[in-house]
């Protein structure tokens, strides 16, 4: 009897279409493209800020284009999806034990959401949005 090892064919570039769970995983993974691109924009912003008031005004003016608005919408969607999935994962990543019992997962994730909302509102307030 000859040995016949199991060879599972996995298409390397389209495997994630096989299951919705894989698709959600990939959706989460590709948020990094937009977040990474946005970080590059932040580095450029720092360069413009260091170059003086005219350079900074030019940078702000440069943001006002249709492409920039579309990019910001994509980056915002990516950042929000990352934040939501990250906070949902915290209860699995760092379970918290108090005495004999574990703190319910929803409490851990919920606390992160509350801190997130408070932090975001505080930053918007200090940035003079309201």
Partner 1 sequence: MAKSHKPVVWFPFAAGGTVIAFFIPVIVVLTFMAALGHVPAGLSYEKLHAFASCGLGKLAIFGVVALSLWSSAHRLRCTCYDFGLRADTLAATVLYLAAIAGSVAAAAFLLRI
Least Cβ distance, residue 85 to partner 1 (angstroms): 9
Contact 87, 110 (CB under 8 A): no
Query: Measuring CA to CA, how many Å separate 34 from each of 71, 73, 91?
Result: 8, 10, 26
Q: Please report whether residue 72 would count as binding partner 1 according to CB under 8 A.
A: yes
Contact 34, 78 (CB under 8 A): yes
Phi, psi of 97 (to 5 degrees): -105, 130
Taking the mean position of all CA atoms in its chain, how far away is CA 102?
Answer: 28
Least Cβ distance, residue 110 to partner 1 (angstroms): 14
Total residue count of the chain as it appears in this document: 130
Range 108-127, binding partner 1 (CB under 8 A):
112, 115-116, 119-120, 123-124, 126-127
Least Cβ distance, residue 28 to partner 1 (angstroms): 9
Q: 76 or 103: whose CB is closer to partner 1? A: 76
Handedness of CA 17, 23, 25, 27 (dihedral sign): positive
The site for partner 1 (CB under 8 A) is made up of 12-13, 16, 26, 29-30, 32-33, 35-36, 38-43, 45-47, 49-50, 53, 56-57, 60, 63-65, 68-69, 72-73, 75-76, 79-80, 82-83, 86-87, 112, 115-116, 119-120, 123-124, 126-129
């Amino acid at each position: 009897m000859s040995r016949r090892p199991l060879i599972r064919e996995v298409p390397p570039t389209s495997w994630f279409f096989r299951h919705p769970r894989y698709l959600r995983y990939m959706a989460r993974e590709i948020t990094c493209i937009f977040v990474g691109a946005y970080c590059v924009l932040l580095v450029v912003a720092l360069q413009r800020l260091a170059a003086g008031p005219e350079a900074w005004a030019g940078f702000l003016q440069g943001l006002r284009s249709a492409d920039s608005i579309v990019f910001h919408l994509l980056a915002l969607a990516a950042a929000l999806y990352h934040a939501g999935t990250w906070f949902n994962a915290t209860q699995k990543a760092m379970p918290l034990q108090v005495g004999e019992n574990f703190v319910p997962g929803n409490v851990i994730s919920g606390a992160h959401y509350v801190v997130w909302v408070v932090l975001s509102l505080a930053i918007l307030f200090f940035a003079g949005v309201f």
